[in-house]
Chain A
């Protein structure tokens, strides 16, 4: 279990009734998700259950079809008032996103990947940005690879660069979209360690993951998503050891390899 947060924390993110369809296919059928400052929620569930779509809606990489999103106590989006380009850009700078396929800029070095948005979005000087990037890349154990291009790094290393790149924006919340699914099993450890350190350090986080051990150790709360709905929600212990819903039990057993 993660080190608990001190005292009750204010709600940072409140998503209500999030719906999203592609054509006739309903991906999200009304999801409520509240997140306190410093809280870490892990989302688990089968493929196609809408996990990725949900967190992509939270920084408007996908536009939800219905519902509302409050951030820092302010309504930033609901179905009646579409968000302006400038507002969604401002929101995205507060939200760090880590993708399954890393999505590093292939023509840029590790250091440049981490610095580029500090300079061009936040307006930091190149030197201040590079200093901060070195610090972050050191923190994720990559200080020896500053000048390498993504193609020269392993999946685990690329993902750690991607995490540093997101952290460089000093986000208020980090979103992880299956960050270890595209990485060789033995290379996942380092990425998971970095994420665990972040969670224990009080970073507000949502992680979509199939790594149950990680969720057990590092999450405050676990959501089980299936068919576009939250089937069950609880502490890691409740979900992994004593799930109430049959569907949750099936899924947890299947992923843990219990027949």
Chain B
């Protein structure tokens, strides 16, 4: 019991660092990802194709490699970053690549008829986006986005590789220098589990809400899609993360 309390006082600051890394990198990633999603829906190939290429590269690179590139590679170009900043930039880019695809699909999933209805009611384009398209996009995109948040959260453990001590780092650091490696790993694992379970629960609830949208006048949009509707394989992400 004493060990658990003592371990928690050690690990909780690490958890806080993990959460901070997740929040900042997800914030960066989603803003960039939303822009990417808009660009991927652009009519002109000249706009779409470079974005597709960028997304594919960032998804193709393991997150660890992107992190090394930002932290060890950029200094060769005289860009030296603080460890935490490097982590959130690298993970932010990876998150952006994955969420761009989610946002693209969500934007394309707004039924064309709803835009026509907005037009025929005389709504201006910016109001149509704000009042009709955005609520729909968020409702559809939130469940898969939360899946990305879970993976990003676990992915922050990669930060140990550049010496940033978050939850995993703190646990391993202590565990390896004492005889408490196994219990320390289990304690850290339990903390990860608690956070991801909470996030997954929110994901399931939001998914139910999103599904209600398809009960009604929801029909596939008439637009061409680059791929199927939100095809977000979380399994595939886990292996890269």
Contact = CB atoms under 8 A, between A and B. Distances in A.
A151 interface: yes
A106 B122 contact: no
A116 B119 contact: no
A176 to B, nearest CB: 12
A221 to B, nearest CB: 24
Contacts of B213: 106-107, 151
A158 B119 CA distance: 19
Contacts of A162: 117
B152 to A, nearest CB: 27
B119 A93 contact: no
Interface stretch (B6-14, B49-57, B163-171, B215-223): B215-223
B121 A103 contact: no
A102 B117 CA distance: 9
A65 to B, nearest CB: 20
A151 B117 contact: no
B120 A61 contact: yes
- Categorize the interface residue count of chain A: 20 to 34
B120, B122, B215: which has the most chain A beta carbons within 10 Å?
A: B120
A120 B113 CA distance: 19
B114 A117 contact: no
Given A101-B219, A107-B139, A120-B127, A151 B119 contact: no
B120 A95 contact: yes
Interface stretch (B23-31, B128-136, B175-183, B224-232): B128-136
A149 B212 contact: yes
Given A101-B217, A103-B114, A169 B121 contact: yes
A152 interface: yes
Given A120-B123, A151-B214, A104 B117 contact: yes
B111, B119, B121: which has the most chain A beta carbons within 10 Å?
A: B121
A120 B218 contact: no
Given A99-B113, A105-B114, A169 B122 contact: yes
Given A106-B213, A149-B216, A101 B113 contact: yes
Interface string B105-149: 000000101101111111110010001100110010000000000
Interface of B: 111, 113-114, 116-124, 127, 131-132, 135-136, 139, 212-219
Given A117-B123, A151-B214, 17 more contacts: A92-B121, A99-B117, A101-B113, A101-B219, A102-B216, A103-B116, A103-B117, A104-B114, A106-B111, A106-B114, A106-B216, A106-B218, A116-B121, A120-B131, A151-B215, A166-B120, A169-B122
A-B pairs, 10 with minimum CB distance: A151-B215, A150-B216, A151-B216, A103-B113, A117-B121, A93-B122, A103-B117, A97-B120, A107-B135, A121-B122
Interface of A: 59, 61, 89-90, 92-93, 95-97, 99, 101-108, 116-117, 120-121, 149-153, 158, 162, 165-166, 169
14 contacts: A61-B116, A92-B120, A93-B121, A101-B219, A102-B113, A103-B117, A107-B135, A120-B123, A120-B124, A120-B127, A121-B122, A151-B215, A152-B212, A165-B117
